[in-house]
Chain A
């Protein structure tokens, strides 16, 4: 202990940074000679107290000894060391810093008992450092500790951690745990780990059994282990000497490859569906204004942009409640974009009914004005819209397949919007009147429908939906003045491809275009895929000008 105190003096005297550099080297030189061997110390508190002045190698030894003597109780201390929250304080106590206190002070806790130790000025604390090698060792140790944890999820995570760095102690720990393990999932994971370990066995039979056990496992660690088994050893021969094992391993790799390809396909399909959902969302408002009313609204993209900026503004207003702000933005965007739509219909579009080309020009002009408007009000730069917590991260299905939540939610959201629209059009009196006016305006008027009001409401509905789509887009792409422009051509193509006037057509066309794009992308690259889809659409529309699901009947003959 004299060495320790000597070093403490140095520490006190020297700068902290210097001590961190010099300390370990010096400790390695001197401590083995004077201090008792760490393996002889069994008292956890003593072990812990030795930690601040020990070199990295000794720290590792101390950590291992701590696990030996204190078991699960050592967990918090090791974790704190791993995460850089373990300090020594002015009284030479080793403490865990537990979150922020008032001002410059921090709250302290005892590493072993977890008891609160009051607080201290952060300046008076000295961090107990770690390096990569130590952190790796700590992770292994913690994993071993976690293997005995009461929570099966933690045990599973520990097994997977062990699999990543499968050294002798880890194997031993796994083997020890195997029979005590009650949870079947964890046991399976342990079996996989042991089988990977068995790949290095001297017995060909053991290796064969291991290979057979591993066949079909998707974890990349298993795959790498199998690959290195059959790999060339540099001299043209394969590393595995036994022919049977080789064949089995090749078969196992093949099987894994197939499964991965399958899951890869599922993933591509999912990407396609989520892209398709974006397309449907951006097109569905247009399916109403263009499809049902026959109004060509080139400012449709800018209505989506307004929706996206609504989400941005809501988040700026409620910075503490991002989730609530984003959810509230949905109805707000509907109102904002819907009101803008009604204004457009009353102010411009209604004077141009029956003159589609003029409508196209006027609304395009409007789109320029709206773009410049947000450029002047907000900024020409993109604004960032945060993602609510529940939408971040991903849903892990297995080692080969995980689906990001934001994409999943977009798919659900799109379906929700679609259903809501269907309900509005099919089940409400507004929907009935909208359909009546679109089919036969004169007759609808004769029946007492105020067609002017219905026009405005329909346009407002389509525009509002565009705004809602804009909120969804704000979660996926940059929110900027050009947001609308980049979607307008796609949206029109989706509507025309699906068949003007058919909501179902829009759904199917958007989804299929999304999937086709994503299927093409790996082979052609994203830009080329987009070009190919556009060219396909141009050709398709020329073959079937009325889209996939044309409206039939004499009315459509025009």
Chain B
């Protein structure tokens, strides 16, 4: 579309800029969430640095998904605060506003738009136009098409460009969802179990991709697969019963007797 690119840039600049003065992009402080008396999160504290790749592990029910829900605005905590950079209070924003501010999320169960083609899924995820009237007149510019094709190449779905997303295999859907994350161009990626159901080769490529993303963006990965965690993580956070049990390098964490007791020792 004529001038669409400029509009896209303009829109981004009109967004509140993420202020990363202290080199920290995400602050989660004293967050508690309870469901019917069950404490899903209990005074959770978590800080993510700019460009960091953080892995979060923990047994089932430790609060990993709930934490992502709080950050992305799906669940409102009972107490505590969550800030994106210095200035954006996540607890006051809706899900789409948080997404537009620059936090992307991949769900545990891959959710793509099943009746759209792979290409259309990426087009929809592309950062930029969001208002109905502008969407009505939106056309893809050549550079936008190029970008989609780039992402298609990155996620290895170039041959399935015009396939209906619902017909993809589980692993391909995982990749497509990661591709959609890339199209969103977020500052912070929250990735929930990205390699579940993937072949070893796919897993390896995912690891490469996530590592390459870190540096320019911050990535938070929740994963059960310890080999995968070992292959990508610099810092690992262990959650247990809704709060942080241990934090450090994978070796430090694995040597921690409390972690061994509640999680690794099982």
User: Interface residues, chain A, CB within 8 Å of chain B?
Assistant: 552-554, 557
Q: What 6 additional pairs, Cβ within 8 angstroms, besides A553-B35, A553-B36?
A: A552-B35, A552-B36, A553-B38, A554-B35, A554-B40, A557-B75
User: How many residues of chain B have a CB within 8 Å of chain A?
Assistant: 5
**Bound CA–CA A419/B94 (angstroms):** 43
**Bound CA–CA A557/B35 (angstroms):** 10
**Bound CA–CA A554/B40 (angstroms):** 10
Q: Is chain B's binding surface mostly helix, strand, loop or mixed?
A: strand
* Residues of chain A contacted by B38 (CB below 8 angstroms): 553
**Bound CA–CA A557/B38 (angstroms):** 14
Q: Which residue of B lies closest to A555 (CB)?
A: B35
- Chain B: minimal CB distance from A94 (Å): 84
* Residues of chain A contacted by B36 (CB below 8 angstroms): 552-553
**Bound CA–CA A553/B34 (angstroms):** 8
**Bound CA–CA A425/B230 (angstroms):** 51
- Chain B: minimal CB distance from A181 (Å): 66
* Residues of chain A contacted by B40 (CB below 8 angstroms): 554
**Bound CA–CA A557/B74 (angstroms):** 10
Within B39-57, which residues are at the interface with A (CB < 8 Å)?
Answer: 40
| Between-chain CB contacts (< 8 Å), 8 pairs | A552-B35, A552-B36, A553-B35, A553-B36, A553-B38, A554-B35, A554-B40, A557-B75
**Bound CA–CA A553/B37 (angstroms):** 9
* Residues of chain B contacted by A554 (CB below 8 angstroms): 35, 40
Within B17-40, which residues are at the interface with A (CB < 8 Å)?
Answer: 35-36, 38, 40
- Chain A: minimal CB distance from B119 (Å): 29
- Chain A: minimal CB distance from B102 (Å): 25
**Bound CA–CA A557/B69 (angstroms):** 11
**Bound CA–CA A553/B35 (angstroms):** 5
* Residues of chain B contacted by A557 (CB below 8 angstroms): 75
**Bound CA–CA A552/B38 (angstroms):** 11
4 closest residue pairs by CB, A with B = A553-B36, A552-B36, A553-B35, A554-B35
**Bound CA–CA A396/B23 (angstroms):** 80
Q: Which residue of B lies closest to A552 (CB)?
A: B36
Among B36, B38, B40, B75, the one with the most A-chain Cβ atoms within 10 Å of its Cβ is B36
**Bound CA–CA A552/B36 (angstroms):** 6
Among A553, A554, A557, the one with the most B-chain Cβ atoms within 10 Å of its Cβ is A554
- Chain B: minimal CB distance from A555 (Å): 9
**Bound CA–CA A54/B38 (angstroms):** 93
* Residues of chain B contacted by A552 (CB below 8 angstroms): 35-36
**Bound CA–CA A552/B35 (angstroms):** 7
* Residues of chain A contacted by B75 (CB below 8 angstroms): 557
- Chain B: minimal CB distance from A126 (Å): 84
